[in-house]
A and B are shown apart, each in its own frame.
Chain A
Amino acid sequence: MSAEIDALIDIVITGKIKEAKGATQKCLDAGISAKDIVFDALSKAMEVVGEKYAAKEYFLPQVLLSANTLYQGLNLVLPLLAGEGAESKGTVVIGVVEGDVHDIGKNIVKAMLTGLGLTMHDMGKDVPIKDMLQKAKDEKANIIAESTLMTPTLAGMKDMENFLKEEGLKGKIFTMVGGGATSKEFADQIGADGWTYDAVEASHFAAKLLGI
């Protein structure tokens, strides 16, 4: 790996937010493709950050800092990806289900999936299930990613599975669920395509699902 890529990885992990744009530009100047910057630097760095968070070596403020550092670089290279003819690896509609305003975890998952090179449509928090589904249809999304930390709002995730079945979209649009109130058993029970414990796993899972 090149020195420029290594430098960018370090900048994202340590959250040197002001240096991110410059370091990304240096990668481009060194002839590294936007695609390689996304996958070999930004995405990798965010994975390390996620691991540090899981190990309680990082806490949420550091994760938010790294995520915002990542976006600095990403904003520079994302427009170039299209020009390189590198297609988006997939499209994801993400949101926190209706009745729940806990959105910090969702935002971290979004950062990880963005790092993976997916096109993200973030519906925010307290989103009616039908709105999320409509957006997924409009954007021809591959994945709907739903988050909730609250038990009463779990029902919305089940509704999503039912709506997808009713409309014959089950298996055409994949569902991933997560957040404190969810579990592997719950996801299996409602028939969601995937569940993960944290954001790092979420990006591995999405990558597998889409064959990246």
Chain B
Amino acid sequence: MSMTPRERVLAAMRMEKLDRPPVAVFTQSATIGQMDALGVSWPDAHSDAKLMAKLGAGQATVLGFEAVRSAFCLTAEAERLGCKVDPGKKNSTPMLKEHPFKFDPMESVYDEPNIMDPEEFIKGGRPAVVIEATRLMAEQYGKEYAVIAGNTGPFTLAGHMVSTENLVFGIIMEPDEVVKWVDAVTPVLKTYSQALADAGADIIQMSEPSSSTDLLSPDMFGDYSGRFVKECLAGTKGAYSILHICGDTSAILDGMIDTSVTGLSIEEKVDSAEAVKHVNGRVPLVGNIGVVKPLLQGTPEECAADAKRVAAAGFNVVAPGCGLSAMIPNENLMAVVKAVKG
């Protein structure tokens, strides 16, 4: 079958029958190996659209994956909304330094969410950089490769603004205040997702790590995260959407599907075959090669074997189960590509 990598990835989004699944990194994709090969590195690439486009394309141009992806962190939106961020180093992602709003369930003190106008939000700061990088990537690589744009989910972003722990604690102490905050950040994410699609992204990949079952019980997912994810993405025109959640998502797969995103990205804590069986063709699955074992700590042979295992289980896109650690060696990633592409 002669198809471009882009056609293959998009066909996988529609769950079309393929001779083999595409192989692509849907979550954070940059590594030291790509930085060295391209002469572009963190932290510069977080805030310069040209550098972001070049490094974000590295998974395809350096390693042979079948997509390119903009944004390398989950702090761009929070920074735009007033969080202080340490840009990190070549091998470490940006970090939030503080939460600008008070949300204290013990003292019952809750700041009012005072969130920027969505149109204003996408005009400046790093969201504007990511939008521009996405536009450049679509222009330079979009014929050949699927263009993925990554952003942050609403419960996670609200946690960035007020402290994740306090937000989670708030679910028991003052659920209305939690809902108020998640609701308040939703409009900017909705507008941002559409702006990324308009810039040329084929796929919006939203990461929502803070609604992992490590933090929320499965029955809390819909009320505090899922329905807002839906609000952010369901109306997005011109792009597919993929929801990524870390941890063991077995118990919330249905809730994730209920957000009406196109597909799900899940990590290695979920048994691959079980996930395929449970999802049963309702949506495409992206994942779930282990990021630490084998990608970071294993051998190329182990990485290849894990990629084959995921493909055999029936995942629609063979991909790392979560964002790449920058230290993952080229050989391991190339072994994954080779195992799938042959």
A residues within 8 Å of B by Cβ? 15, 59-62, 64-65, 68, 99, 101, 103-104, 107, 126, 151-152, 181
Contacts and interface: CB of A to CB of B under 8 A. Distances in A.
21 contacts: A15-B172, A59-B216, A59-B217, A59-B220, A60-B168, A60-B216, A61-B169, A61-B217, A64-B168, A65-B169, A101-B95, A103-B165, A104-B165, A104-B168, A104-B215, A126-B95, A151-B296, A151-B325, A152-B92, A152-B325, A152-B327
A181 B327 CA distance: 14
Most buried by A among B91, B96, B169: B169
Contacts of B327: 151-152
Secondary structure at the B interface, as helix, strand, loop or mixed, is: mixed
Contacts of A62: 172
Contacts of A181: 292
Contacts of A64: 165, 168-169, 172
Interface in B206-238: 213-217, 220
Contacts of A65: 169, 172-173
Interface of B: 91-92, 95-96, 106, 164-165, 168-169, 171-173, 213-217, 220, 292, 296, 325-327
Nearest to A72: B106
Contacts of B326: 152
Contacts of B220: 59, 61
B86 to A, nearest CB: 8
Contacts of B296: 151
A128 B60 CA distance: 36
A15 B171 CA distance: 13
A101 B74 CA distance: 13
B172 to A, nearest CB: 5
A129 B172 CA distance: 35
B172 A61 contact: yes
Contacts of B213: 59
Nearest to A149: B214
A61 B95 contact: no
Contacts of B169: 61, 64-65, 68
A126 B96 CA distance: 10
Nearest to B92: A99
A161 to B, nearest CB: 20
Contacts of B172: 15, 61-62, 64-65
Nearest to A126: B95
Nearest to A68: B106
A-B pairs, top 6 by smallest CB distance, nearest first, are A59-B217, A64-B169, A61-B172, A61-B171, A60-B215, A65-B172
Nearest to A125: B95
Contacts of B92: 99, 152
A104 B213 CA distance: 14
A60 B164 CA distance: 11
A154 B164 CA distance: 23
A104 B164 contact: yes
A151 B217 CA distance: 26
Given A103-B165, A126-B95, 11 more contacts: A60-B168, A60-B215, A60-B216, A61-B220, A64-B169, A65-B169, A68-B106, A68-B169, A99-B92, A101-B95, A151-B296
B168 to A, nearest CB: 5
A107 to B, nearest CB: 7
Contacts of A104: 164-165, 168, 215
A108 B22 CA distance: 41
A153 to B, nearest CB: 8
Given A59-B216, A60-B216, A152-B325, A107 B165 contact: yes
A181 B172 CA distance: 28
A151 B171 CA distance: 30
Contact of B96 (A59, A99, A101): A101
A152 B171 contact: no
Contact of A152 (B91, B164, B216): B91
Contacts of B165: 64, 103-104, 107
A103 B327 CA distance: 23
Contacts of A103: 165
A129 B296 CA distance: 24
Nearest to B214: A60
Contacts of B95: 99, 101, 126
Contacts of A151: 292, 296, 325, 327
Contacts of B215: 59-60, 104
B109 to A, nearest CB: 15
A19 to B, nearest CB: 15
B154 to A, nearest CB: 18
Contacts of B91: 152
A103 B220 CA distance: 21
Nearest to A57: B217
Nearest to A64: B169
